[in-house]
A = this chain, B = another copy of it.
Amino acid sequence: MNGDALSRLATLLEEDLQATNQAIVARMDSPVALIPQLAAHLVAAGGKRLRPLLTLAAAKLCGYEGVRQIKLAACVEFIHTATLLHDDVVDESVLRRGYASANAVFGNKASVLVGDFLFARAFQLMVEDGSLEVLRILSQAAATIAEGEVLQLTTQNDLATTEQKYFDVIRGKTAALFAAACEVGGVIAARPASECAALAQFGMDLGMAFQLVDDALDYSADEAELGKTVGDDFREGKLTYPVLLAIAAATPSEREFWTRTVEQGNQTQADLATALALIQKHGAGFQTIARAEKFVTSAVSALEIFAPSSMRDALVEVAQFTTARRF
């Protein structure tokens, strides 16, 4: 996400965002000290707050003037953070291969349990809000996220993964929460179903674009030169869009390379550079961004149902700059 576009959105929503941050800190508290400690590590530390901003923006776009968006934005962030914590859990096999674990400080079990707490707390916040429609949207999103994550796990190391499966994975693991975050903004504003659906569509398309760009950046030679972390997906044997494209265009010897490194997980230090070179050779990064652009176009057109406003402009801008982001 382009930092400037997102900063402008955050500035437009500054008061709401501050209130959301306060709600986040207040509601992740617990008499069990490790919970706020570990949660603070991820939640309070800041982050871009992209998903809660979408809820705040959607509510504002719909002319909503109450305060329900604050609690629900916090709730969306809790669901996101729970997902991050559970994503940090590493498998025995990964440990055996000697990768550093993202949850090294606290351990697998604490990540899982604190994630569970945040997830439960998110539902408590929704119950306090009191809308069964919001509960329906976000419990459905939570189930879809889990399905996407499990599907990703089962396609890992599988070179036969189809584009369709890849899109199912990212729709679940990323786009579903973007969609739900936007939709609830319309629901609390009591907008007609067509507008709520348009917001969901905007979020879904934005989420798809966002994840495609994320997956492209993980194979970006530029980023590697800038000293940023690339190659996580490669090391984990994830069949992301750039890899699927490079495999589809592979020569026989290139296919052997992908089979060894991604399917069999048999990698040496030098393999990442080769992977980056192959992605570049076949223009797979470029094509991935191009695919993301299509989702951005769809996202922007979904917002046409709304009258022009500074909030609509800001959301359009956030979408358009998705493909320009470098982090």
Which residues of A approach B to under 8 Å, CB–CB? Answer: 30-35, 82, 86, 89-93, 95, 101, 107-110, 112-114, 116-117, 119-121, 123-124, 126-127, 130, 132, 135-136, 139-140, 142-143, 145-147, 149-151, 153-154
Q: How far apart sit A91 and B116, CA to CA, in the bound complex (Å)? A: 16
A113 to B153, CA, bound (A): 9
Closest 9 CB pairs of A and B: A120-B142, A117-B146, A120-B143, A123-B139, A116-B146, A91-B107, A113-B149, A124-B139, A113-B150
CB-nearest residue of chain B relative to A124?
B139
Secondary structure dominating the interface of A: helix
Are A123 and B147 neighbours in the complex by a CB distance under 8 Å?
no
* CA gap between A121 and B127 in the complex, in Å: 16
Once A127-B139, A130-B132 are accepted as A-B contacts, the answer to whether A146 and B108 lie under 8 Å apart by CB is: no
In the complex, residue of chain B having the shortest beta-carbon distance to the beta carbon of A101: B92
Say which residue of B33, B132, B153 sits within 8 Å of A110 (CB atoms): B153
Which of A30, A34, A124, A150 lies at the interface centre, i.e. has the most chain B CB atoms within 10 A of its CB? A150
User: Which of chain B's residues have a CB closer than 8 A to the CB of A145?
Assistant: 116, 120
Distance in angstroms from A100 CB to nearest chain B CB is 11
Show 13 residue pairs from A and B whose CB-CB distance is below 8 angstroms, ordered by the A residue.
Answer: A32-B151, A33-B154, A90-B108, A92-B95, A117-B143, A117-B146, A117-B150, A119-B119, A120-B146, A123-B142, A127-B132, A127-B135, A135-B135
CB–CB B89/A153 < 8 A? no
Chain B minimum-CB-distance residue to A142: B120
